[in-house]
């Protein structure tokens, strides 16, 4: 079978496509015929070995200190169950599924555990849209409901509202009953409003602390601000959430837990089968809709990574075997 491979860290050009052995499912595993896979920010970090903030060393220890431990990248997928290993009862040959893999999704075939973060496609969801749904939407869902615990009527500001996580955060926060403000470029205002934002503001305008508005949750999905930058824009019991862990975030998390009512928060959205199933239900309810900006063949995997890094990308980059 064909698969994307990389044997060293670096720019998109380190990715090539080659023939590799077709994997066989073992006990408790499934083999999928991959229909599509997204190129996510997480995939870009793994390809470059360039994990942000204090995550650099843990990321390298997990993924390979000097070179990738796993040659075949790719962490989101959609596809059809092609074979099942002994003991698998939850899925059968022919089932259409989508979800998250630890690696290996940028290939024609993928083996995953039967209890992986994965669910059947709801009726009407295309395999291509399903492949781009988990990364941003699962992260946004986890942060909004488990970390920030957003409530109906609260004011939520999403920084990076046109990005993968930001787009999902705007949609899901609005679905949960929040009044959403999106921070993005003026060229993206109309699209972010269409996602459900009641208000939009220019990312290059005055700092949030000087604008006068107050928010119950400020969710920085772009890694461009810190707690001290936005503290004055938080309501008395406001929560600041960020996807990017650094020393400053760790310090602010500790201090705000001990002192004051405003909080700095961070967490890991690892995903589970239950959360993917919940996400399928949210899609069926119309609460979240993915957007594919570029579709490329697997043979153009290096170009797909380059497009993922392009300035002003609105939507996801998809590769198909």
pLDDT in tens, 107-165: 999 999 999 999 999 999 999 999 999 989 999 999 999 999 999 999 999 999 999 89
Q: Give the pLDDT band of residue 168 (cuts 50, 70, 90).
A: very high
The confidence band for 309, taking pLDDT boundaries of 50, 70 and 90, is confident
Can you say whether the dihedral through the CA atoms of 26, 129, 321, 271 is positive or negative? negative
**Beta-sheet strands, E only, within the chain:** 2-5, 16-19, 29-39, 76-84, 96-100, 109-113, 118-120, 155-159, 179-184, 199-202, 215-220, 234-242, 263-265, 292-297, 316-320
pLDDT surpasses 80 at 23: yes
Q: Which residues make beta-bridge pairs with 234?
A: 215
The DSSP result for 98-147, as a single string, is EEE-SS--SBSEEEEETTSSEEEPPTT--HHHHHHHHHHHHHHHHIIIII
Residue 291 backbone phi and psi in degrees, to 5 = -135, 125
The model's pLDDT over 25-55, given as tens digits with 9 standing for 90+, comes to 999 999 999 999 999 988 998 999 888 776 7
**In the predicted model, is pLDDT for residue 77 greater than 80?**
yes
pTM of the model: 0.90
Q: Tell me phi and psi for residue 217, to 5 degrees.
A: -135, 130
How far apart CA 247 and CA 255 sit, in angstroms, is 12
């Amino acid at each position: 079978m064909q698969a994307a491979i990389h044997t060293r860290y670096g720019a998109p050009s380190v990715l090539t496509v080659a023939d590799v052995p077709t994997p066989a499912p073992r006990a408790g595993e499934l083999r999928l015929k991959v229909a599509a896979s997204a190129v996510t920010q997480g995939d870009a970090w793994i390809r470059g070995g360039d994990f942000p903030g204090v995550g650099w060393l843990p990321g390298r220890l997990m993924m390979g200190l000097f070179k990738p431990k796993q040659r075949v990248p790719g962490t989101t997928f959609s596809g059809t169950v092609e074979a099942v290993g002994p003991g698998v009862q939850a899925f059968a040959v022919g089932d259409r599924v989508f979800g998250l893999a630890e690696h290996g999704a940028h290939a024609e075939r993928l083996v995953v555990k039967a209890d992986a973060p994965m669910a059947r496609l709801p009726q009407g969801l295309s395999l291509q849209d399903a492949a781009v749904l988990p990364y941003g939407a699962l992260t946004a869902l986890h942060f909004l409901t488990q970390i920030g615990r957003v409530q109906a009527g609260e004011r939520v500001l999403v920084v990076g509202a046109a990005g993968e996580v930001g787009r999902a955060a705007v949609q899901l926060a609005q679905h949960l009953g929040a009044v959403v403000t999106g921070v993005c470029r003026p060229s993206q205002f109309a699209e972010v409003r269409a996602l459900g934002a009641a208000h939009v503001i220019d990312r290059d305008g005055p700092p949030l602390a000087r604008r006068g508005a107050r928010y119950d949750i400020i969710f920085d999905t772009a890694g461009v601000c810190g707690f001290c930058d936005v503290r004055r824009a938080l309501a008395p019991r406001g929560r600041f959430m960020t996807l990017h862990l650094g020393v400053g975030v760790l310090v602010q998390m500790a201090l705000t837990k001990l002192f004051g009512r405003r909080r700095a928060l961070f967490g890991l959205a690892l995903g589970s089968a239950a959360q993917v199933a919940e996400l399928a239900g949210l899609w069926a309810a119309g609460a979240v809709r993915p957007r594919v900006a570029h579709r490329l063949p697997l043979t153009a995997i290096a170009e797909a990574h380059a497009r993922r890094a392009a300035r002003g990308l609105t939507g996801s980059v998809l590769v198909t075997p």
